Structure 1
Amino acid sequence: MDTDVLVVGAGPTGMTLANELLLAGVSTVLVDKLAQRGDLSKAGGVQSRTLEALDQRGLLEPLLATGDHPVTTGHFAGVPLPLHSNRHRLPWRSVPQVVIEGFFEQHLAAHGLHARRDHELVGLAQDDDGVTAAFANGATLRSRYLVAADGAHSTVRSLLRAEFPGQPGTVTITSADVRLGGAVPSTSHTWSEDGHWAALFPLGTDPQGRQLRRLVLGGPDRSLPREVPVTEDEIRDGLSTVFGTRVHLLELRYARRITNASRQVERYRHGRVFLAGDAAHVHLPLSAQGMNTGMQDALNLGWKLGAAVHGWAPKNLLDTYHAERHPAGAAVLRNVRAQSLLMDWAGTRDPDVLAAREIFTALAQLPEVQQHLADLTSGMSVRYPMPGTETHPLVGRPAPDLDLGPARLHELLRSGHGVLLDPADTFATVAGAWSDRVDRVGQGADTEPMLIRPDGYVCWAGADDLEPALNRWFGEPR
Structure 2
Amino acid sequence: MNTEVLIVGAGPTGLTLANELLVAGVSTTLVDKLAQRSPVSKAGGVQTRAQEAFDQRGLLEPLLATGNHQTSTAHFAGIPLLLTRGRHRLPWRTIPQVVIEGFLEQHLAAHDIHVRRDHELIGLTQHDDGVTATFANDVTIEAGYVVAADGAHSTVRSLLGAEFPGRVGKSTAIAADVRLDGDAPMLTRTWSEDGYSAQVFALGTDPEGRPLHRLALGGPDRSLSRDVPVTEDEIRVGLRSVFGERVRLLELRYARRITNVSRQAAQYRHGRVFLAGDAAHVHLPIGAQGMNTGIGDAVNLGWKLGAAVHNWALERLLDTYHTERHPVAAAVLRNVEAQSLLMDWDGKHDPDVIAAKDLFASLTQLPEVQFHLDDMLSGIGIRYAMPGSDDRPLVGLPAPDRNIGPTRLHELLRSGRGILLDPSDKLAEIADPWSDRVDRTGVGADTDPMLVRPDGYVCWTAGGDHSTDGLAAALTSWFGIPHG
TM-score category, normalised to shorter length: over 0.9
Matched with 2:477 is 472
Per-residue CA shift, 1:318-358, capped at 9, x if unaligned? Answer: 00000000000100000000000111111110111111111
Asked whether the equivalents of residues 220 and 348 of structure 1 are also in contact (C-alpha less than 8 Å), the reply is no
Counterparts of 1:390 and 1:25, CA distance in 2: 34
Per-residue CA shift, 1:410-438, capped at 9, x if unaligned? Answer: 10000000100111112012111111111
Query: Could you tell me how far 1:380 is from its partner in structure 2?
Result: 1.2
DSSP 3-state at the match of 1:19: helix
CA distance 1:29–1:52, shift in 2 (3 Å) = same
Counterparts of 1:221 and 1:169, CA distance in 2: 14
Asked whether the equivalents of residues 78 and 187 of structure 2 are also in contact (C-alpha less than 8 Å), the reply is no
Per-residue CA shift, 1:140-199, capped at 9, x if unaligned? Answer: 100000000000000000000000000111000100010000123244533335553212
Is 2:314 the partner of 1:317?
A: no
Asked whether the equivalents of residues 220 and 346 of structure 1 are also in contact (C-alpha less than 8 Å), the reply is no
Per-residue CA shift, 1:217-259, capped at 9, x if unaligned? Answer: 1144244110000000011111112111110000001100001
Worse overlay, 98-107 or 216-225: 216-225
Matched with 2:245 is 245
Amino acid corresponding to residue 113 of structure 1 in structure 2? I
Query: Could you tell me how far 1:65 is from its partner in structure 2?
Result: 0.4
Matched with 1:290 is 290
Counterparts of 2:195 and 2:365, CA distance in 1: 23
DSSP 3-state at the match of 1:445: coil
CA distance 1:408–1:156, shift in 2 (3 Å) = same
Structure 2: runs of 5 or more not aligned: none
Counterparts of 1:350 and 1:386, CA distance in 2: 43
Is 2:180 the partner of 1:180?
A: yes
Matched with 1:405 is 405
Counterparts of 1:405 and 1:228, CA distance in 2: 58
CA distance 1:76–1:193, shift in 2 (3 Å) = farther
Asked whether the equivalents of residues 384 and 396 of structure 2 are also in contact (C-alpha less than 8 Å), the reply is yes
Counterparts of 1:350 and 1:390, CA distance in 2: 41
Counterparts of 1:222 and 1:62, CA distance in 2: 41
Matched with 2:272 is 272
**TM-score when scaled to structure 2?**
0.97
Matched with 2:53 is 53
Is 2:390 the partner of 1:390?
A: yes
Counterparts of 1:428 and 1:199, CA distance in 2: 56
Matched with 1:444 is 444
Counterparts of 2:229 and 2:84, CA distance in 1: 35
Amino acid corresponding to residue 466 of structure 1 in structure 2? L
Amino acid corresponding to residue 477 of structure 1 in structure 2? P
Asked whether the equivalents of residues 33 and 117 of structure 1 are also in contact (C-alpha less than 8 Å), the reply is yes
Identity of aligned residues (%): 71
DSSP 3-state at the match of 1:318: helix
Matched with 2:301 is 301
CA distance 1:343–1:151, shift in 2 (3 Å) = same
Query: Could you tell me how far 1:87 is from its partner in structure 2?
Result: 2.1
Counterparts of 2:406 and 2:414, CA distance in 1: 15
Amino acid corresponding to residue 53 of structure 2 in structure 1? A
1:42-441 equivalence runs, <5 A? 42-193=42-193, 195-441=195-441
Counterparts of 1:119 and 1:258, CA distance in 2: 27
Per-residue CA shift, 1:347-401, capped at 9, x if unaligned? Answer: 1101111111110010011111011011111111110011111110110000011
Query: Could you tell me how far 1:90 is from its partner in structure 2?
Result: 0.6
Q: Report the aligned-residue RMSD.
A: 1.1
Query: Could you tell me how far 1:13 is from its partner in structure 2?
Result: 0.2
Amino acid corresponding to residue 453 of structure 1 in structure 2? R
DSSP 3-state at the match of 1:316: helix
